[in-house]
Homo-oligomer: A and B are copies of this chain.
Amino acid sequence: MLILMGHQATRDQVDNVLRHVREHGFEPIELPGADRLAIGVLGSNPAQIRDAVIALPGVVDAVPVSKPYKQVGREWHPEPTVVRVGEVRIGTGAPFAVAAGPCAVESRDQLLATARAVRSSGAHLLRGGAYKPRTSPYSFRGLGAVALEHLAEARAETGLPVVTEVLTPLDVEQVAEVADVLQVGARNAQNFSLLEAVGDVGKPVLLKRGLSSTVEEWLLSAEYVVSRGNPQVILCERGIRTFETATRNTLDLSAVPLVHSLSHLPVLVDPSHATGQRHLVPAMALAAAAAGADGLLVEVHPRPDEALSDGPQSLTLEQFSELMEGLRHLIGALARA
């Protein structure tokens, strides 16, 4: 950590900071500059005293040097993590993985029809919401336990592992009985009780980026899960909230190579929630693959215009089949490049 003293800081103020740093068990070094004095702080995790130091008279700022996350960081764990979900592997070196299915499980027929279709188009996992977080209490909020039964049946028939969301620590046990991957949604990206609860389960976790999470906060949320002993975390970029309203969110594809440089965890992309518009999904799915994503999460519905949620952003079964065809061409070319 580097402590920056004000241009007019007195010698007494500087001495007070030095004393403070030493009292906390760290070693300060004075760094005179042209404009001002800086004080370097050596030792393990000096950022823990940042709040205390920054409040001292004469101090202008204190800049941490180390990353706040450890276990999810690539610096300390250079080899990539490959998460296994049944026979599917997700991560660097594994085949590009596609999870597809409806936003919400609406009926047995809807789910089975979708599962069969995405399976035959080449999807690797089945996604579908049993419990849906909705901005309004008056919107459709999922079929709950019944939907979990449908998901289990769809898996039994198609062999596709199931990705489904869990909203509260109260439901983790129940959802984990069926889910192969527990999804934590964007609105719960900093629901720390939920992160710990899924960290206590021995199943892979798909962690969506929060609407306003920085990459650093997102990795710290993953650190919550990993720090409970569950290293099987799959990150998922799904668009952030910006001033632009022409798309539902702004898909931050730069986060894909960035996270790959900072962390060893796999990264998926969800072009459906990011754009909110079906006609933009295929282009952004291809772009995600080209940006180096390890896979996709895509909303597919047999009859999107009758969907109870997120219809406008769901691909039809035919559109999904075409997308998978395009992805195969693209990924082949990327492998050769």
Contacts and interface: CB of A to CB of B under 8 A. Distances in A.
A312 B55 CA distance: 5
Given A2-B65, A187-B192, A245-B245, 8 more contacts: A7-B75, A51-B310, A55-B278, A55-B307, A242-B242, A244-B252, A283-B291, A329-B337
A211 B242 CA distance: 12
Nearest to A242: B242
Interface residues of A, number: 112
Contacts of A247: 254-255, 258
A81 interface: no
A6 B65 CA distance: 10
A254 B276 CA distance: 11
A134 to B, nearest CB: 7
A31 B31 contact: yes
Contact of A214 (B38, B215, B243): B243
Count of chain copies: 4
B167 A192 contact: yes
Given A192-B133, A251-B254, A38 B2 contact: yes
Contacts of A138: 45, 68, 227
Contact of A169 (B32, B168, B305): B168
A257 B240 contact: no
Interface string A64-99: 011011000001100000000000000000000000
A215 B284 CA distance: 17
Given A278-B55, A283-B256, A167 B193 contact: yes
A304 B240 contact: no
A24 to B, nearest CB: 10
A306 interface: yes
Nearest to A275: B254
Contact of A243 (B2, B241, B307): B241
Nearest to A246: B215
Contacts of A216: 246
